[in-house]
């Protein structure tokens, strides 16, 4: 099989961009499909660690610096906007469409991870089977959808308006759930553990870091915090870490 996988405009498909879960899902998806012997065409930026048949650059690092105000990806909020008419989406979508059209063959898969921000790619290539392959967001559009959990699938279905007599406006019977996937060797088991609690994730309210803060403060326990964003006053903040233990 042949997969055309489109990354997001603001990152490189390397392990270092661990704060962006969707970028890491793109990288690991390419690794899995390539490892199974499939052809994978990755449309992304200039730096790449994902296994693929071909890397096609649709955004340069210089453009990323310009579009995202030279913001350090590893400090503060991730500086990307999610309007499908925003400059970075329009340009990268257009480039992706042109590059995919040059390479596509019948029965190829188009794999999207940016929701409605990348809907224009699927619309421009209607002959391809467009699959949203890692839905953890609400802006879904494709006929073929793979969610990360049943809870999120049901949340998205319930949030969409149902037209009279058209259940498919909310969901389809073939909507699938495939939990997020990780490289097991990246997380070796250790029987000897230090005595602290860890919160790792993007430091926004929706991720629930305040629960960890309140719990450890009430218990009088040490809390280590890792992730992109503004850390709380309680706990030891160690910055952004990846699976190799590197700190940015």
Rg of the chain (C-alpha set)? 19
Question: How far does the chain reach from its first CA to its final CA, in angstroms?
Answer: 37
Question: Has residue 101 been placed in a domain?
Answer: yes
* Residue 132, pLDDT score: 97
245 occurs within a structural domain? no
Quote the pLDDT of residue 232.
92
Task: Judge whether 212 lies within some domain.
Answer: yes
**Positions of the chain with pLDDT under 50:** none
134 & 164 share domain: yes
Closest CA to 217 of 239, 240, 237, 197: 197
Residue ending a domain, choose from 177, 206, 228: 177
Q: Assess whether 208 and 115 both reside in one domain.
A: no
Tens of pLDDT, residue by residue over 161-175, are 655 555 556 788 899
* Rounded-to-integer distance, Cα 237 and Cα 30, Å: 32
140 phi/psi in degrees, rounded to 5: -90, 155
Any domain includes 132: yes
How many C-beta atoms surround the C-beta of residue 214 within 10 A? 12
Model pLDDT, residue 164: 55
d(CA 221, CA 216): 5
Residues 70 and 164 in one domain: yes
Residues 56 and 170 in one domain: yes
| Same domain as 40, residue 104 | yes
Answer yes or no: do 128 and 226 share one domain: no
Please tell me whether residues 161 and 200 are part of one structural domain: no
Q: What is the CATH number of the domain that holds 129?
A: 3.40.50.2000
Last residue of a domain, one of 127, 151, 177: 177
Considering the domain architecture, whether residues 230 and 173 belong to the same structural domain is answered as no
Q: Are 148 and 28 in contact (CB under 8 A)?
A: no
* Backbone conformation region of residue 96, classed left if phi is above 0, alpha if psi is from -120 to 50, else beta: alpha
**One domain for residues 135 and 208:** no
Q: Are residues 155 and 231 in the same domain?
A: no
Q: Of 130, 155, 177, at which residue does a domain stop?
A: 177
Asked if residue 8 belongs to a domain, the reply is yes
Inside any domain, residue 242: no
Beta-carbon contacts of 230 under 8 Å, excluding residues fewer than 6 positions away, are 76, 77, 203
For 46-89, how does the pLDDT look when each residue is reduced to its tens digit (9 = 90+)?
Answer: 999 999 999 999 999 999 988 987 555 655 556 788 999 999 99
Rounded Cα distance between 226 and 199, Å, is 6
Domain-embedded: residue 86: yes
In this prediction, residue 195 carries a pLDDT of 93
Is 14 part of a structural domain of the chain? yes
pLDDT at 248: 58
Q: Specify the pairing of strand 54-57 against strand 109-112.
A: unpaired
Residues 192 and 152 both lie in one domain: no
Give the number of domains in the chain.
2
201 and 165 within one domain: no
Supply the range of the domain harboring residue 165: 2-177
């Amino acid at each position: 099989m042949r997969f055309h996988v489109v990354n997001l405009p603001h990152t490189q498909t390397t392990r270092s961009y661990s704060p962006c879960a969707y970028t890491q899902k793109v990288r690991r998806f390419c690794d899995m499909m390539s490892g199974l012997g499939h052809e994978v065409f990755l449309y992304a930026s200039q730096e790449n660690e994902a296994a693929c048949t071909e890397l096609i650059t649709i955004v340069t690092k210089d453009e990323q610096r310009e579009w995202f105000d030279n913001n350090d990806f590893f400090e503060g909020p991730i500086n990307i906007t999610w309007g499908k008419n925003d400059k970075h989406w329009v340009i990268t979508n257009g480039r992706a469409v042109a590059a995919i059209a040059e390479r596509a063959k019948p029965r190829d898969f188009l794999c999207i991870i940016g929701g409605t921000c990348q809907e224009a790619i699927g619309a421009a290539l209607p002959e391809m089977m467009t699959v949203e392959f890692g839905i953890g967001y609400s802006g879904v559009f494709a006929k073929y959808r793979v969610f990360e959990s049943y809870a999120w699938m049901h949340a998205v279905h319930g949030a969409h308006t149902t037209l009279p007599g058209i259940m498919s406006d909310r969901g389809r019977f073939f909507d699938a759930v495939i939990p997020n996937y990780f490289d097991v060797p990246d997380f070796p088991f250790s029987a000897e553990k230090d005595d602290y609690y860890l919160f790792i994730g993007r430091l926004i309210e929706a991720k629930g870091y305040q629960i960890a803060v309140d719990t450890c403060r009430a218990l009088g326990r040490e809390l280590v915090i890792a992730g992109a964003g503004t850390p709380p006053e309680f706990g030891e903040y160690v910055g952004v870490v990846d699976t190799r233990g590197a700190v940015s």
